[in-house]
Amino acid sequence: MALGEDQEVVGQKITGGKEALELIRRAGLRVLRTEEAEDENRAVALAGEMGYPVALKMAGAEHKTELGGVKVPLKDAEEVREAFRELREIQPAGPLLVQEVGQGFEAFVGAIRDPLFGPVVAFGLGGIFVEVLGNVSFRLLPIERRDIEEMLTELRAGFLLHGARGYRVKFSVLEELLIGVSSFVLQTPWIGELDLNPVFLSEDEYRVCDARIRGLREGPPGG
């Protein structure tokens, strides 16, 4: 079965891939440039525009890495063509995603509307580590600077954000990211869950690499 960007689960729309990234980009969050390619020639052309290395990914599926659906880093046109053909074995139809390669520390940011407490934001280690270590801190929305400071203190890997092991991230970068997510969720009432993983953090900026949004039953306006 071909994997598309949207799934319908008990009346709830799950949005991923380029569509989800575009939604959060329009809300003011910073994302890695991501474009769709229906064929390998288009993928090569987009990679040339972005500049190598690039990533080539399946569109929309969860757990892309476990499925072998992420090829990175691709250093030239031949590697892009080879990766495109390999991914077509997993996703026979629909566009694949060509994406800039993220740099820095991988973080996870999520949000959920709890039926009892209301909207909650989560922040922690990203990539595969968010599931392996469960190293995540939670706060009710809206959040302030003090909340972010406390979240970093709670994280077992918080020291990585202060210059350890080659990683350093300015607090202003984290503040922009987490306040931005908080505002997006509060201003978008149809969102039930939001999953940004990974988010690449460098000293002076962040970039969201992958996003997944589960809408409530009423869905987005016009959706």
- Per-residue pLDDT for 7 more than 50? no
- Per-residue pLDDT for 223 more than 60? no
Q: How do the domains of the chain map onto residue ranges?
A: 8-15+103-215, 33-100
> What CATH number does the domain located at 8-15+103-215 have?
3.30.470.20
Q: Which helix (H) or strand (E) holds 132?
A: helix 129-132
What's the mean per-residue pLDDT of the chain?
Answer: 86
More confident site: 167 or 11: 167
Closest listed residue to residue 142, CA positions, set 190, 193, 179, 188: 179
Residues 211-218 have a mean pLDDT of: 83
79-126: pLDDT as tens digits: 999 999 999 999 999 999 999 999 988 899 999 999 999 999 999 877
- Per-residue pLDDT for 5 more than 60? no
133-167: pLDDT as tens digits: 557 899 999 999 999 989 988 887 667 677 766 77
Kindly state the DSSP code that residue 202 receives in the 8-state scheme.
-
Question: Which token pair is 35?
Answer: 């474009």
Kindly state the DSSP code that residue 93 receives in the 8-state scheme.
S
Among 44-53, 60-69, 80-89, 127-136, the range scoring the smallest mean pLDDT is 127-136
Give how far Cα 115 sits from Cα of 13, 144, 186, 222, Å: 18, 22, 15, 24
Residue 149: φ, ψ to 5°: -60, -40
Q: Which pLDDT score is estimated for 8?
A: 43
What's the fold here for domain 33-100?
Dna Ligase; domain 1 (3.30.1490)
| pLDDT tier for residue 168 given thresholds of 50, 70 and 90 | confident
Tell me the residue ranges of DSSP E strands in the chain: 6-9, 12-16, 34-37, 54-57, 70-74, 96-100, 105-114, 118-125, 136-140, 191-201, 206-208, 211-215
| pLDDT tier for residue 1 given thresholds of 50, 70 and 90 | very low
Q: How far, in Å, CA of 146 to CA of 6, rounded?
A: 37
Most confident by average pLDDT, 10-14, 57-61, 97-101: 97-101
How many angstroms separate the first and last alpha carbons of the chain? Answer: 24
Q: Which pLDDT score is estimated for 9?
A: 39
The pTM assigned to this predicted structure is 0.87
